[in-house]
Every structure is written in structure tokens, then in C-alpha cells.
């Protein structure tokens, strides 16, 4: 260390901040920009910065240095693991975690100059009546705390205005809600408790910190312990309970169907459809289920090509199918067919608006709430066996090695010859005989080649166990078991991935070649892991007795796969897989195609 004098006023001794940390601060991560760094006399790559006496980041540099050296020490001592070094690594892992927590706190830039007196944002609440809102001056630091009694009727996920309290060095920023800009929701599901002529809804939502009062006229005929959906009528005084009205009586608490309905409604879904949507669906079921000759003439005809669906044994709607045809010269025509729902659900229709509102089907333990009424999802659009159906298709000419020789995309008409469950199809493969064994066997061989190529190209497979429930005659869970992952699961998965990749490549290449220059596309992208999370993962794994190589703060997909193979079947397998998954960046959708890590 050394003293540095300048014309800018009193200075203090500087602690070295290494290049990574310097960049971290210079990017404005904590709302501060520092000057250029300097090398020391030995040309060390550490960066020295001048800090004024008042600058709180002098403290930051000390903790960053200690944090970095502790991390480096951990990485070194964990290189050779034995009983003693393992204990030492575990102890220093805890020490490192404590240091990192201190480091994050000391980086906070506080004070009126850096934090606005009034901010707006989305508040998160907990059952204790506390609220938290992101600090716009320090998005990665501690949230601003709204203490009990100062929420001013704000509820979880409401958009609010918060006035900040005066900042005190070393203390967490606090504030008070002064305005509700927009309510996130006003409807809650819960259990009604009767008390001296009035009722109170105890919400199922654990983040709802207050009961809703129901006046006498609302609870006529209601029994104690009834589950219901209740809507706010008014809540202006935070010292009193909000007043509500019952919008739907669900039934007795504890009944399986009532509890399932409660879950669905509490999460903002609905088991029913508007009358206009049902009427439109019924009309389609009556008038469009039979496909016209005119429509058939516009499509490529696969009705005479062997086509099958492979789905869970309890599936009621079948939205994808695979076709197979043997060609000369050792080639095969394999088609991936997806139900053409857009033929029936036209833009701007009541069905289209309902689908836009719902976005997806909801799968519960004992039932499915389809995005579209069952007359469409389970009948008209479902690829049921021995019925002619309209589809969108990706068709591939392939050899036994999984190499795609030709591809095409088309609107088609199909007729499924067989509805397989995963287990039934697996039984045919295991027995090496049965209906369509030859076709299933060839499809499986090609799928394995596709999987091998996928891993060669850096794919990561986090095969995690799926849990299934055993239900009684009322749909109530009575047991649980691990669902085995079969070859047929992977078979279907590989052909769906193939179709996705090829369609994406076709769109990307068409836009890039300016053939479709006026168009854009959404890509599902997956960025490389965050270096900070990578470092934490490496330390955790070494404490568990595993080494994961890191080069330039990044991971190699093949090394991750080797790790996952190493822990397979061991007691810590699930823990390590979960921790590794959480260290990965989340997949997002973007118009910029940056690729897909793993």
C-alpha cells in the first residue's frame, strides 16, 4: 500500500482492488464511478484507486480484497481433499459466505444524494405485515424495508409510492407507503370464520397479512369453516380490516374438490369459460369437426403414412404425433405433427381472446384445466386415433445415423393409427415384439444418435426425478412415487427438439439472408452463467468433495455433464443437481439470437 497525494484534497491509503472488482464498481453497480486505475511499481494487475476521506468505498476495497483472498484460499486448499482439508474447506466456506454478506452490505451507497426521497415500484409483503421494495439506486443490494404499521393498506405486488426515511450509515433503508398507485388484485380465496354476527375471511395467500371483514348481510346461510372467494369493497383505514363481499361460495374446507378449486381461483385461474366462448366452441364442434375436401386439397396428405401418438397414460388431449415411412437407399421419412389449432381459433374471436387471457393449460395433481374448452382441446383439435386431423408438420428425410438429408414444413392432414402410452411403447421395445415394433425400434435408434450429437455439441441434461401421486376414488392423494424416465420419453423429446431446432434455424437463416428482411422472430436464448454464481458453485462442490474446472470464470458444458454423471445414484445427487441448475442463467425470450448455453 502507499500514500497518494493529489490536488483534489486530502487522500487516504488505498487498498488494492483487482481488475474484476474495479470493473464491477466502474460499471456503476453501486451508483458510483471511479477514476482510472493504476498499476503498482511491479506492474501488478491489481488496480489502485484514489478514495477521498469521505468516500465509503474505502471500506468496500478492504472487504473486496479479503473476500477475494478468502475465495482464492478456498480454491487452493480444496485442490487436494482429505478428512482434514474437507473440514477446513467447510469452515472457510461458512467464513466466505459471511464475508460475502458483509461485502454486499458495505458496498451500499446511502444518503439523500444517492437515494431519492420518494420512489415508486412494486412492493412485496409477508404475513407479518412487513413490506419490501427494490431500491432503484441499488437494484442488487438490500431492498428498502417498510416496517409493520407503515404499509398504508398496500398488499403484495401492488404498485406503490414510498417516501424514504432519513438514511443512517450502516442501517438498512426504510420507508413508508404514501400512495397505492395500482392494486395487483382485489379478490382472495380463504376460509370464513364467524364471530359475533360478522364474518372474517382468513386468506389462503400467506402474503396477505390481514383478514377481510364480511358484514352480516354477506354471511347469511354461511357456515363456519366455509371456503369462499371474496372481493374487496373498500379499505381506506389501515388500522381497520378491509371490507369485502362474497363472489363465490366453494364449499366445506378440507373437501378435495373444494381445495382444488381454491388453489385455481387463488392463483388467478378459472375452471369455467364465458358463455360466448362456450357457444363458439360448441359451434365449431358441430360444424367443423368433419374436414372438407376443399381444406384437404390445400394440405399435404399423410393419412396413409403410419402415424402414432405417445403420451402419458392419463392424457386426454393429444397435441403432437410422429409419422414414419421407410424409403429406398437406407433413408426414412419422419414427420413431427402438431395440432393446427389456429385453423379453428381465428384471430379476434372470443376463443382467441380467452386463450390470450389464459395463455396455457393448468395441470393439477388430479385434473387438467385446458386453455380452450374440452370440445376443442380433447376432441376437435386432439390427434385422437383413427380420426382425420389437421396439423402443422416438420418433415425430415434422415438416415439411421440421425443425419438430416432434407427437411420441409407444411400444413398437413393426418390419421393416427395408434395411441401409445409411454409405458406401452416401452413395453414393445423391451419385448422386441408387438405392434409397430420395427418402426418404434428404428425411431429409437435414430433418437439415440440425435441425443449423442446433442451432447457432443455441448448440451447439458439435468435429468431430475419426476414425482407422481397415487389418488383415491375422490382424487385425494394417498401416496407418492418416483416416475421412471423411460427411453420412450427421450424418444419423443428428441424429435420435438429436432423440429424446434430446424424450424428456428429456418426462420433465423431466412431473416439473416434478408429473404424475410421485414420480419423478426422471438428466440429462446440461454446466456452463460454469472461468474459470481460460478465461483460460489465451485466452492460448494469442493466442500462436497467434487471438483468442477473453471476457465476465465466460465464453465464448460462437458465438465458439467461429467459432474452430473459422477454424482448419479449417490445420496447427494439431487442436492448437487439442484444447486448446479440454480447457478445457471435463466432462459429468456429475445429478438436477439445469442445462442443457448447447454
Q: What pLDDT, in 10s, does the model give residues 351-368?
A: 999 999 999 998 888 888
Of 121-130, 542-551, 587-596, the least confident: 587-596
Give the model's pLDDT for residue 70: 57
Of 44-48, 288-292, 446-450, 547-551, the least confident: 44-48
Give the model's pLDDT for residue 74: 54
Which of 280, 208, 219 is CA-nearest to residue 242? 208
Which of 397 and 50 is assigned the larger pLDDT?
397
Tell me the average pLDDT of the chain: 82
Give the model's pLDDT for residue 228: 96
Of 18-27, 57-66, 331-340, 514-523, the least confident: 18-27
3-state secondary structure 111-144: CCCCCCCEEEEEEEECCCCCEEECCCCCCCCCCE
Task: Report the C-alpha gap between 287 and 374 in whole angstroms.
Answer: 16
Does the domain at 187-266 match CATH 3.40.50.2300? Answer given as: no
DSSP state of 173: P
Give the model's pLDDT for residue 97: 57
**Domain map (residue ranges) of the chain:** 19-106, 118-182, 187-266, 275-448+477-486, 522-590
Looking at residues 480-509, what average pLDDT do you find?
93
Give the model's pLDDT for residue 60: 39
Which of 413, 394, 193 is CA-nearest to residue 302? 413
CB neighbours of 184 closer than 8 A, spacing ≥ 6? 122, 155, 156, 157, 158, 159
Is the pLDDT reported for residue 575 higher than 60? yes
- Rg (alpha carbons) of the chain, rounded to whole number: 30
Give the model's pLDDT for residue 81: 47
Task: Report the C-alpha gap between 133 and 249 in whole angstroms.
Answer: 34
**pLDDT confidence tier of residue 51, bands split at 50, 70 and 90:** very low
Which of 104 and 307 is assigned the larger pLDDT?
307
- CB atoms closer than 10 angstroms to residue 301: 13
Please report where in the chains the cell 464475508 appears, as a residue: 99
**pLDDT confidence tier of residue 408, bands split at 50, 70 and 90:** very high
Is the pLDDT reported for residue 50 higher than 60? no
**pLDDT confidence tier of residue 448, bands split at 50, 70 and 90:** very high
Please report where in the chains the cell 487498498 appears, as a residue: 15
Task: Report the C-alpha gap between 236 and 244 in whole angstroms.
Answer: 12
C-alpha 451: how far from chain center: 24
Find the distance separating the first CA and the last CA of the chain, reported in whole Å.
43
Is the pLDDT reported for residue 84 higher than 60? no
CB neighbours of 47 closer than 8 A, spacing ≥ 6? 16, 17, 18, 19, 22, 37, 38, 39
DSSP state of 55: -
Topology given in CATH for the domain delimited by 118-182:
OB fold (Dihydrolipoamide Acetyltransferase, E2P) (2.40.50)
Give the model's pLDDT for residue 593: 84
Which of 496 and 42 is assigned the larger pLDDT?
496
Give the model's pLDDT for residue 501: 92
Of 102-116, 150-164, 209-223, the least confident: 102-116
- How do residues 206-226 score in pLDDT, each as one tens digit? 999 999 999 999 999 999 999
Give the model's pLDDT for residue 76: 53
Quick one: what percent of the chain has pLDDT higher than 70? Answer: 80
Is the pLDDT reported for residue 340 higher than 50? yes
Which of 92 and 418 is assigned the larger pLDDT?
418
Give the model's pLDDT for residue 89: 54
**pLDDT confidence tier of residue 15, bands split at 50, 70 and 90:** very low
Is the pLDDT reported for residue 66 higher than 70? no
Looking at residues 318-325, what average pLDDT do you find?
97
**pLDDT confidence tier of residue 125, bands split at 50, 70 and 90:** very high
Looking at residues 63-85, what average pLDDT do you find?
52
Do the beta carbons of residue 358 and residue 405 sit within 8 Å?
no
Residue 138, φ and ψ in degrees, nearest 5: -155, 70
C-alpha 311: how far from chain center: 23
Looking at residues 429-443, what average pLDDT do you find?
97
Buried b (16+ CB within 10 A) or exposed e, 107-134: bbbbeeeebeeebebebbbeeeebbebb
Please report where in the chains the cell 460448494 appears, as a residue: 540
The reply to whether 118-182 and 187-266 are identical in fold is yes
Which of 54, 92, 69, 56 is CA-nearest to residue 17? 69
Give the model's pLDDT for residue 38: 36
Residue 70, φ and ψ in degrees, nearest 5: -65, -45
Amino acid at each position: 500500500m502507499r500514500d497518494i497525494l493529489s490536488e483534489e484534497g486530502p487522500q487516504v491509503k488505498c487498498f488494492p482492488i483487482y481488475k474484476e472488482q474495479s470493473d464491477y464498481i466502474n460499471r456503476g453497480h453501486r451508483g458510483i464511478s471511479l477514476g482510472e486505475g493504476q498499476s503498482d511499481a511491479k506492474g501488478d494487475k491489481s488496480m489502485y484507486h484514489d478514495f477521498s476521506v469521505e468516500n465509503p468505498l474505502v471500506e468496500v476495497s478492504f472487504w473486496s480484497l479479503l473476500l477475494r483472498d478468502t475465495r482464492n484460499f478456498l480454491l487452493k486448499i480444496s485442490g487436494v481433499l482429505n478428512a482434514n482439508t474437507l473440514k477446513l474447506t467447510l469452515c472457510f466456506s461458512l467464513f466466505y459466505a459471511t464475508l460475502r454478506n458483509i461485502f454486499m452490505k458495505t458496498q451500499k451507497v446511502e444518503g439523500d444524494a444517492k437515494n431519492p426521497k420518494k420512489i415508486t415500484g412494486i412492493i412485496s409483503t409477508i404475513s407479518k405485515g412487513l413490506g419490501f421494495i427494490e431500491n432503484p439506486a441499488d437494484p442488487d443490494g438490500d431492498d428498502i424495508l417498510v416496517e409493520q404499521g407503515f404499509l398504508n393498506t398496500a398488499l403484495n405486488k401492488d404498485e406503490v409510492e414510498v417516501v424514504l426515511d432519513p438514511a443512517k450509515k450502516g442501517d438498512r433503508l426504510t420507508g413508508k407507503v404514501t400512495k397505492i398507485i395500482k392494486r395487483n388484485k382485489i379478490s382472495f380465496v380463504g376460509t370464513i370464520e364467524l364471530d359475533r354476527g360478522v364474518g372474517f375471511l382468513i386468506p389462503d395467500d400467506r402474503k396477505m397479512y390481514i383478514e377481510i371483514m364480511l358484514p352480516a348481510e354477506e354471511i347469511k346461510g354461511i357456515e363456519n369453516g366455509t371456503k369462499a372467494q371474496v372481493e374487496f369493497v373498500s379499505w381506506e383505514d389501515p388500522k381497520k380490516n378491509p371490507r369485502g363481499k362474497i363472489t363465490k361460495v366453494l364449499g366445506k374446507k378440507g373437501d378435495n374438490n373444494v381445495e382444488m378449486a381454491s388453489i385455481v381461483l387463488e392463483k388467478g385461474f378459472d375452471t369455467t369459460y364465458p358463455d360466448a366462448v362456450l357457444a363458439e366452441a360448441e359451434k365449431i364442434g358441430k360444424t367443423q369437426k368433419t374436414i372438407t375436401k376443399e381444406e384437404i386439397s390445400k394440405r399435404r396428405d399423410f393419412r396413409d403414412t403410419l402415424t402414432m401418438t405417445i403420451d402419458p397414460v392419463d392424457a386426454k388431449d393429444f397435441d403432437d404425433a410422429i409419422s414414419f415411412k421407410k424409403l429406398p437407399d437406407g433413408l426414412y421419412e419422419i414427420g413431427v405433427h402438431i395440432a393446427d389449432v389456429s385453423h379453428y381459433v381465428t384471430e379476434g374471436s372470443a376463443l382467441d381472446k380467452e386463450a390470450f387471457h389464459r395463455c396455457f393449460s393448468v395441470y393439477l395433481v388430479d385434473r387438467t384445466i385446458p386453455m380452450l374448452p374440452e370440445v376443442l382441446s380433447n376432441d376437435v383439435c386432439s390427434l385422437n386415433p383413427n380420426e382425420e386431423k389437421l396439423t402443422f408438420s416438420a418433415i425430415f428425410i434422415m438416415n439411421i445415423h440421425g443425419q438430416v438429408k432434407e427437411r420441409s414444413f407444411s400444413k398437413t392432414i393426418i390419421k393416427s393409427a395408434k395411441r401409445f402410452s409411454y409405458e406401452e411403447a416401452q413395453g414393445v421395445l423391451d419385448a422386441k415384439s408387438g405392434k409397430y415394433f420395427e418402426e418404434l425400434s428404428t425411431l429409437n435408434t435414430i433418437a439415440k444418435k440425435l441425443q449423442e450429437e446433442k451432447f457432443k455439441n455441448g448440451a447439458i441434461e439435468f435429468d431430475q426425478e419426476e414425482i407422481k401421486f397415487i389418488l383415491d376414488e375422490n382424487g385425494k392423494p394417498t401416496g407418492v412415487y418416483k416416475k421412471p424416465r423411460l427411453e420412450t420419453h427421450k424418444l419423443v423429446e428428441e424429435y420435438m427438439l429436432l423440429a424446434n431446432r430446424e424450424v428456428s434455424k429456418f426462420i433465423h437463416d431466412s431473416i439473416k439472408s434478408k429473404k424475410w428482411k421485414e420480419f423478426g422472430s422471438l428466440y429462446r436464448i440461454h446466456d452463460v452463467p454469472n461468474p459470481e454464481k460460478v465461483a460460489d458453485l465451485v466452492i460448494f462442490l469442493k466442500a462436497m468433495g467434487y471438483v468442477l474446472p473453471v476457465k476465465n470464470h466460465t464453465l464448460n458444458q462437458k465438465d458439467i455433464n461429467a459432474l452430473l454423471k459422477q454424482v448419479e445414484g449417490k445420496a447427494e445427487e439431487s442436492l448437487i443437481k439442484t444447486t448446479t441448475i440454480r447457478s445457471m442463467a435463466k432462459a429468456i425470450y429475445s429478438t436477439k439470437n445469442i445462442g443457448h448455453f447447454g
